[in-house]
Amino acid sequence: MTIKANPIYISSKKEAETFISKFDNFLLDCDGVIWLAENLIKGVPQFLDYLIENNKQFAFVTNNSSKSRDSYIEKFKNLGIKIQIPKNRIYTTSFSAVLELKTLNIHPGSKIWVLGDEGIEDELKDQGYIPLGGSNSLLDKSFDPENPLFTIDDEVKAIIVGSTNEFNFMRISTTLQYLMFKNKSLPFIGINSDRFYNGPNNLFLPAAGSICEIASYSSNRKYINVGKPSSVFAREILRDTGFNKHKTVMIGDTMSSDIRFGNYSHLGDGQGTLLVLSGVTKFDHLKTVLDNPNQFDDVESLIPRFYTDSLTKLITLLTETE
Listing DSSP states for 238-262 in one string gives: HHHH---GGGEEEEES-IIIIIHHH
In the chain, where the domains are located: 8-63+244-319, 94-225
Residues that constitute the known binding site for substrate: 228
Does the predicted TM-score (pTM) go above 0.95?
no
Q: What is the mean pLDDT of each run of 10 residues along the chain (322 residues)?
A: 73 97 97 92 97 98 92 94 94 96 97 96 97 97 96 98 95 98 97 86 89 98 96 94 98 96 96 96 94 90 96 96 73
Strand order in the sheet with 306-308: 8-9, 306-308, 273-276, 248-252, 25-28, 57-61, 90-91
Pairing of strands 196-198, 204-206: antiparallel
Looking at 22-106, list the stretches that DSSP marks H as alpha helix, in order from N- to C-terminal side: 44-53, 69-78, 93-103
Residues that constitute the known binding site for Mg(2+): 29, 31, 253
Q: Match domain 94-225 to its CATH number in 1.10.1740.10, 3.90.25.10, 3.40.50.1000, 1.10.3720.10.
A: 3.40.50.1000
Confidence (pLDDT) at 321: 80
- Topology agreement, domain 8-63+244-319 and domain 94-225: yes
Confidence (pLDDT) at 199: 78
3-state secondary structure 94-112: HHHHHHHHHHCCCCCCCEE
Residues marked as catalytic: 29, 31
Residues that constitute the known binding site: 29, 31, 228, 253
Q: Match domain 8-63+244-319 to its CATH number in 3.30.2130.10, 3.40.50.2300, 3.40.50.1000, 2.60.40.420.
A: 3.40.50.1000
Confidence (pLDDT) at 322: 66
Confidence (pLDDT) at 198: 76
| CB 90 within 8 Å of CB 122 | no
